Structure 1
Amino acid sequence: MMERFFIKVSMIVALLLVGGATFSSCQEKQKNSMMNVDIISAVKAGNLTSVTQLLDQHVAINTANQQGESLLLLATQRNNVAMAELLVSRGADVNQQASNLDSPFLFAGASGFTKLVSLYLKNGAHFDIFNRYNGTALIPACERGHVETVRLLANTPNFPIDHVNRLGWTALIEAVILGDGSAKYVQIVNVLLQAGVNPSIADNQGMTPLQHARKKGFTNIVTLLEGK
């Protein structure tokens, strides 16, 4: 009888221990989830103090929201240089991609956030990670007329300035096709040419940047390209 009693007691104790461990584990997961939500909100709000405190409590530096947007990408979207510097100093991944393939580096380039591009270039930016169009940070920077960002990227050693995206366009082609021929696009074409892009690369229809520029009547760009 006593032996059975001790066996039952042992089983009850074991069940209580397992149940307690499971409960503690659930509590820990719930706490971590709440802290993740807190740090995402703090980054969006630009609250450096709260973000620092939460990171000191070991919240993962590469925490992401449901769209896969990392803390650093959220800071980048808001062009919050101070927040980005804090996150990078704590080891944030400048190449971490969201569900739509945006990364902090790619987004900064496309948005013309030159200070952030510079920061990310110094902290491990990869040139073989591409956006949803299979493009680099440089290509959309050219499309959108971000002269200084283009200047920085085009003159970065080993940057693939002649990369062709899924549409069949290089940075130079995109500057011509999607630009309006205004002064900033003339500058961009000149920057690209000075950086050593290959102006003879044609698109999927076999048209070169020069042919596109002539077709669109961009005389200043035509002059630059004819000089090459």
Structure 2
Amino acid sequence: MRFLAALVIALLTVPSASAQVAPTEAELRAYAGLHAAAARGDIADIERRITAFENKEALDARHRTPLHVAVYQKQHDAARALIRLGANPNRLEIDRYDIITIAAVANDVPMLRIALEGGGDPKAVTSRYDGTALIAAAHLGHAEIVRTLIAAKAPLDHVNNLQWTALIESIVLGDGGRNHTETLRALVEAGANVNIPDGSGATPLTLARSRGYRDMVAILEQAGAK
């Protein structure tokens, strides 16, 4: 009973794109230095400031570094330049998101590749849910992001503090449509454990059946789910 009560509370605040807080317009206008250069994608200014020993890891009020800002603003070249010049690709902002998870939630495949190639850790545990970028992407049905993270050896069976894996999130937070079904298919084909239950003991197959997600049920049954 306590688990179910906790689950209800968790569902009200479940991780989503809105769980991450991108810089507001007011923050963007107020930025100076490297944060401002990153936000507008000014490579020359980034290089000039770092050459002058400006702090690459400077923090704004929400502990976003210039690199976080570049990723939130989808400034791909700026993010690449910051990483090349030594910015930490694994730094967490105030809500415990790294640039890989930010890119995953935004469904920004080019940025995700920049983060991975720049040394970002696809195995990192992020967010207040103790999840991973793979779980966040599965929740949102970002199938190409999921496949990219799988190729980068993201952990397939990590269990977050809601007692959900990426596979489970693709079901319980999905809509049973094409994107979430393809996400589940990618996880199953990669070898994700199809029988890890949630905190109440319900298996992925049980969860998919209870929601009437027939395509997901077929994939799980073919993979030997119980």
- TM-score range for the pair, normalised by the shorter chain length: 0.7 to 0.9
CA distance in 2, matches of 1:50, 1:124: 23
How far residue 48 of structure 1 moved from its aligned partner, in angstroms, is 2.1
One-letter identity of the residue aligned with 1:133: Y
The CA deviation string for residues 160-183 of structure 1, in whole angstroms up to 9 with x for no partner, is 110000101000000000110111
Please name the residue that 2:208 is paired with. 213
**For structure 1, which runs of at least 5 residues remain unmatched after alignment?**
1-35
Alignment partner for residue 150 of structure 1, among 125, 146, 149?
146
How far residue 47 of structure 1 moved from its aligned partner, in angstroms, is 2.1
RMSD over aligned Cα atoms = 1.4
Structure 2 residue 135 is matched with structure 1 residue 129: no
Alignment partner for residue 43 of structure 2, among 23, 41, 48?
48
How far residue 206 of structure 1 moved from its aligned partner, in angstroms, is 0.5
The CA deviation string for residues 14-61 of structure 1, in whole angstroms up to 9 with x for no partner, is xxxxxxxxxxxxxxxxxxxxxx93221221122222222211211122
How far residue 190 of structure 1 moved from its aligned partner, in angstroms, is 0.7
Structure 2 residue 93 is matched with structure 1 residue 98: yes
What TM-score do you get using the length of structure 2 for normalisation?
Answer: 0.81
Q: In the alignment, is the contact (CA less than 8 A) between 2:80 and 2:118 conserved in 1?
A: no
Structure 2 residue 57 is matched with structure 1 residue 62: yes
Q: Superposed, which structure 2 residues align to 1:16-35 within 5 Å? A: none
CA distance in 1, matches of 2:113, 2:41: 20
Deviating runs (4+, > 4 A) in structure 1? Answer: none
Identity of aligned residues (%): 30
How far residue 123 of structure 1 moved from its aligned partner, in angstroms, is 2.4
Please name the residue that 2:157 is paired with. 162
Please name the residue that 1:188 is paired with. 183
SS at match of 2:34: helix
Structure 2 residue 222 is matched with structure 1 residue 227: yes
One-letter identity of the residue aligned with 1:153: L
The CA deviation string for residues 51-101 of structure 1, in whole angstroms up to 9 with x for no partner, is 222112111222221211011111111111111111011011111011111
CA distance in 1, matches of 2:118, 2:80: 10
CA distance in 2, matches of 1:78, 1:185: 26
Higher relative contact order (CA 8 A, sep 6+): 2
What TM-score do you get using the length of structure 1 for normalisation?
Answer: 0.80
SS at match of 2:91: coil
One-letter identity of the residue aligned with 1:184: N
Structure having the higher helix fraction is 1
SS at match of 2:32: helix
How far residue 129 of structure 1 moved from its aligned partner, in angstroms, is 3.2
Structure 2 residue 173 is matched with structure 1 residue 178: yes
One-letter identity of the residue aligned with 2:110: K
Aligned length: 192
How far residue 132 of structure 1 moved from its aligned partner, in angstroms, is 1.6
**For structure 2, which runs of at least 5 residues remain unmatched after alignment?**
1-30
